[in-house]
Structure 1
C-alpha cells in the first residue's frame, strides 16, 4: 500500500483535528455510504435517485461532515486550506460513488459558502439555510454554449419589470443540476455594459418556465450534469444577489480557491489508482511470476508515485501559502494544471497495468480513465490555466 493519511510525510504537519476528521469520514463512508450504495445498486455510471442523496446529506449533516467546508460563523469548524485539502483527498481516495455528496460538493454548502457574506437575511433564510441543512440542493449556472472559458460572453437575459425580473436563456453542462431545487444563475441585466452588466440571481428551478434537461451523460457518468432552460421565468427582485452588475464578480470570486480545492479530489483518485495498480502488480502473474517483477511495470509504478508526490507537495505548499495570507492566483492555476494532467497520466498507466480487465465497463480503473480526462477541462481547462500563469509572469511591474 502507498502512504496512509497517518504515515504520509506530506501530512505530517496537518493538525490532529484533521486526522481525526479523516478517520471519522473513512469510517462513515465504509460503514454507511458504501453499504447504502450496495443496497441501492448505485454505481458511478448510473443515475442516483434524489431520495437516496437526501439520505446521504442527512446522515452527513448529523455526523457534522456536511458543514466542514463552511466558516465558523456559519456552522463550520473553520478548517484551514491545508486541512480541507487533506480531508477532500481522503474522501476521494475511498473510491465511493457517493463520496462527493458526503461534503455536499455537488449541491450543498460548498456551492454557497462564498455567498454567505453577500446575501440578504431573506435570501439566507429562503435559499441558503435549506441548502446548508441538506433539505434542498443548489447548483451554480454560468456556462452557456458560447460562454464557457469566456465567462463574460453570457447571453442569458434578465429584464426587470416592476417587482420582478423576466429570465430567459439556457445554461449547459451544469454539474449537480439534476438534483437541484435552486440555481445561482448569472445573467445579463444591462446589455450595453459588458462585464459590468451581468448580475446573479437565486432561481427556483420548480418555477413556471424553468426546465432541467438531464438527457446526456458525460465521461463521468452518473447523470450528474444537465442543461437548464429559462423561458420567461419570473424572478422576484428580492432574489438579486448583491447589486446589479456584480454577478460576474461574485461568480469569479470563487474560482481561485475552487481551483485549488479541485486538486485534492484528483489526487485522492490518483492515490487510489496507484494503490490498485500496486496490488495488481503483486497478484497478477504472467510467465509464472507476478508482473511486478518486470522492470517495465516497475518503471510505470515509479513514475506514477513520483509524479503524484511532486504535485501533492505543490498542492499542499500552495494551501499553506493561502493559509499564511499569500496571493495564490497563479499558484492555484499551476496546481490545477499539474494535478489534472498528472491524474490523466496516472490513470493511463493504471489501466495499462490492469490490461484487458481494466477496460471492462464497470471496473473502477475504466471509470477513472474516463473521468480523469474531465479533470483537464472542469473548473477551467488546462489551456486557461496556462494563460493565467503566463499572464502573471509577463505582468509589467511598476518601476
Structure 2
C-alpha cells in the first residue's frame, strides 16, 4: 500500500505512524513469521504471539486505540481506520496481532470506563501492557444474533458468583489468560438480565476447547466451558443487569473497525489479480489484454474504492460525535459483501491457480466469506438500517 501525503485522508501523525508500522512489519514481524513457518492457516504458538505483542508494544503500536491515559495515541476513528487498513494491506500473516485485534487492547478500551481501580490493576493494565491476553465471550448455541438470549448463568453465592454454561466460537480464546463473560443474572426465566464479568482462565471450572478450525482454516477460535466456575463478586464489570448494554455500548465504532480489515484483505486480492493478469499468458498475450479480465479488474477497483469512501465517510461522522448506528451497519454490510465479490473475481481471474489451497487469493476468498457473518450478519445489518429508516420517517 503506497501512501501519498497529498492524497492521504488522515492526519500527518497517522501518516507517519503508518510508515513506521509498515516498516516494523516488513523488518521484524514478517521475518519472524517466516523463520517460524507461520502461514495464514498454520497459526502461531502462544509464546510466539506473546513475543509479537511485546515487540509491538515496545514500538508503540500495540494499544494505539486505547484511551491516552492507558497509553493510546489519541487518534480519531478516521485515523484508526486508515492505520488498520494499512496494517492488513501488508498481507502479513501476523497482521491481526500488531494491534492486538484478537486478544488485546481493542477488547478492553471501552471497559476501562466501567472498571474499578482493582479491576484496572488485575485485568485492564496487564492487557494494555501486552502481559496478558483477553477474549470477549458472548456467543452461545442459542445466542448469536440474539445476544440477549444467553443461557450461561451467574448465580450469587455470598461474596462470589458461580458461572455455568458454554460459550461458542470465541475469537482469541485458545490463547487467552482471561475472558469477559456475559452471563444471565436473572432469577426469572421470563426476564432477561445480563451482567459482565472478568473470569480468569486459571480458575477451576474454566476450560477452553479449541480443536476445530474456521472456514479460513484458522484455529484462533474456540469454546469456553464454565462448570461451577467460582469468581469473586468483585469481578463483575459495572452494574448488575447492564452487561449486554455495556458490551454493545461502542457497537458502532467496533462494527466500523472491522471494515478496514476487509478493505485491506480485498486490496491484496485486487493487487494479486492485477499482477497475475499481467504475467499469465494465453493465446500469445497476457490475459490482462482480454476485455473480460479488464472488466473484472475495473469492477473490483471501482467497488473497492466505493466501499473505502463509505467507511471513511462514516468514520468522519463518528469523529463528529454522531451516533451512526445505521451508518456503521451500512458500512459493514457494503464492505463485507463487496470484499467477498472482489475475492470471488480474484479467484476467477486466477483460474486453476485460484482454486488451489495455499494460493493467497484462495485463502482471501474463504476469509472474506466469513466477514458476511462475523460481527453481525448481513441480514442483521439490514434490519438495523431498516429500523433506522422507518423510525426517522415516523418522527
TM-score, scaled to structure 2: 0.98
SS at match of 1:77: coil
List structure 1 segments (4+ residues) > 6 angstroms apart after TM superposition. Answer: none
Q: How far apart, in 2, do the equivalents of 1:333 and 1:275 lie?
A: 27
Return closer, same or farther for 1:243/1:29 CA change in 2, 3 Å cut-off: same
Q: Quick check: 1:31 aligned with 2:27?
A: yes
Measure the CA separation in 2 of the matches of 1:67 and 1:309.
Answer: 28
SS of the aligned residue for 2:208 comes to strand
Whole-angstrom distance in 2 between the partners of 1:353 and 1:194: 54
- Tell whether the 8 Å contact from 2:149 to 2:192 is kept in structure 1 after alignment: no
Shift of 1:152: 0.9
Match of 1:77 among 73, 76, 87: 73
Deviations 1:344-385 (A, max 9, x none): 100000111111112111111111010111010011000000
Deviation for aligned residue 1:72: 1.2
In structure 2, the residue matched to 1:4 is 2
Contact 2:180 2:199 in 1 (8 A): yes
The number of residue pairs the alignment matches comes to: 395
In the other structure, the counterpart of 2:13 is 17
Q: Counterparts of 2:137 and 2:377 in 1: how far apart (Å)?
A: 17
- Aligned-partner Cα distance in 2 for 1:288–1:249: 61
Q: Which of the numbers 347, 362, 365 marks the counterpart of 1:369?
A: 365
Corresponding residue for residue 154 of structure 1: 150
Residue in 1 aligned with 2:292? 296
Q: Deviations over 1:18-39 (max 9, x none)?
A: 1111111110101111101111
Structure 1 distance, partners of 2:382, 2:258, is: 16
Instruction: Report the equivalent of 2:101.
Output: 105
DSSP 3-state at the match of 2:169: strand
C-alpha separation between the residues in 1 aligned to 2:279 and 2:130?
43
Please report how far the alpha carbon of residue 243 of structure 1 lies from its aligned counterpart in structure 2 after TM superposition. 1.2
Change in 2 beyond 3 A, CA 1:80/1:131? same
* In 1, Cα distance between equivalents of 2:219 and 2:187: 34
**Alpha-carbon deviation of 1:341?**
0.1
- Structure 1 unaligned residues grouped into runs of 5+: none
Aligned with residue 255 of structure 1, among 251, 258, 261: 251
SS in 2 for 1:366: helix
Q: Give the secondary structure class of the aligned counterpart of 1:97.
A: coil
Q: Aligned partners of 1:286 and 1:54: how far apart in 2?
A: 47
Aligned equivalents of 2:114 and 2:352: distance in 1? 52
Contact 1:196 1:246 in 2 (8 A): no
Instruction: Report how far residue 396 of structure 1 moved.
Output: 5.7
Deviation of residue 251 (structure 1)? 1.1
Counterpart CA distance in 1 for 2:12 and 2:106 is 23
* Range 187-196 or range 111-120, more displaced: 187-196
CA contact (8 A) 1:5 1:90 kept: no
Q: Is the 8 A contact 2:252 2:323 kept in 1?
A: no
Q: Distance in 2 between matches of 1:302 and 1:191?
A: 58
Distance in 1, matches of 2:204 and 2:182, equals 19
Q: How does 1:353-392 map to 2 (within 5 A)?
A: 353-392=349-388
Distance 1:258 1:212, change over 3 A: same
Structure 1 counterpart of 2:119, from 105, 119, 123: 123
Task: Give the 5 Å matches for 1:310-389.
Answer: 310-389=306-385
The answer as to 2:21 corresponding to 1:58 is: no
- Out of 163, 176, 194, the residue aligned to residue 198 of structure 1 is 194
Separation (CA, whole Å) in 1 of partners of 2:85 and 2:344: 20
1:5 counterpart SS class: coil
Q: Distance in 2 between matches of 1:206 and 1:221?
A: 28
C-alpha distance in 2, partners of 1:396/1:323? Answer: 22
Q: Which runs of 5+ in 2 are unaligned?
A: none
For the aligned residue pairs, the C-alpha RMSD in angstroms reads 1.4
Q: Structure 2 CA distance, aligned partners of 1:207 and 1:220?
A: 31
Equivalents in 1 of 2:329, 2:39: separation in Å? 31
SS of residue matched to 2:14: helix
Give secondary structure in 1 for the equivalent of 2:223.
strand
Match 2:283 to one of 279, 282, 287: 287
CA contact (8 A) 1:160 1:166 kept: yes
Tell me, in whole angstroms, the C-alpha distance in 2 between the residues paired with 1:227 and 1:398: 43
Does the 8 Å contact 1:282/1:292 carry over to 2? yes
Q: Normalization by structure 1: what TM-score?
A: 0.97
SS of structure 2 residue aligned to 1:192: coil
| Aligned equivalent of 2:209 | 213
| Contact 1:106–1:139 (8 Å) recurs in 2 | yes
